[in-house]
A = this chain, B = another copy of it.
Amino acid sequence: MELWFSERHTPNVKLSIKVEKQLYSGQSDYQRIDIYESKEFGRFLTLDGFMMLTEKDEFIYHEMITHVPMMVHPNPEQVLIIGAGDGGAVRELVKYESVRHIDLVEIDEMVVDVCKKYLPKTACALDDPRLHIHYEDGLKYIRSCEDQYDLIIVDSTDPFGPGEGLFTREFYGSCYKALHKDGIMVNQHESPFYQEDVAAMQRAHKRIVESFPISYVYQAHIPTYPSGHWLFGFASKKYHPVDDLKREAFKDAKLNTRYYNPNLHVGAFSLPTYVEELLRDVE
Q: How far is the CA of A258 from the CA of B4 in the complex (A)?
A: 35
Residue of B nearest to A275 (CB): B259
Residue of B nearest to A222 (CB): B228
Give residues 221-272 of A contacting B (CB, 8 Å). Answer: 221, 223, 227-229, 257-261, 263-264, 266-272
Shortest CB–CB separation between residue A182 and chain B, in angstroms?
26
A261 CB contacts on chain B under 8 angstroms? 270, 272-273, 276
Which of A11-19, A131-139, A167-175 sits within the interface? Answer: A11-19
Shortest CB–CB separation between residue A253 and chain B, in angstroms?
14
- The yes or no answer to A94 lying at the interface (CB within 8 A) is no
- The yes or no answer to A274 lying at the interface (CB within 8 A) is yes
Q: How far is the CA of A223 from the CA of B257 in the complex (A)?
A: 25
- The yes or no answer to A38 lying at the interface (CB within 8 A) is yes
- The yes or no answer to A40 lying at the interface (CB within 8 A) is yes
Would B219 and A227 count as touching, CB distance under 8 A?
Answer: no
Would A266 and B264 count as touching, CB distance under 8 A?
Answer: no
Residue of B nearest to A269 (CB): B267
- Looking at A257, A270, A272, the one whose CB has the most chain B CB atoms below 10 A away is A272
Q: How far is the CA of A260 from the CA of B6 in the complex (A)?
A: 32
A16 CB contacts on chain B under 8 angstroms? 6, 13-16
- Looking at A17, A38, A228, the one whose CB has the most chain B CB atoms below 10 A away is A228
- The yes or no answer to A99 lying at the interface (CB within 8 A) is no
Residue of B nearest to A11 (CB): B18
A17 CB contacts on chain B under 8 angstroms? 12-13
6 CB < 8 A contacts A-B: A14-B16, A15-B15, A57-B193, A223-B228, A259-B273, A267-B268
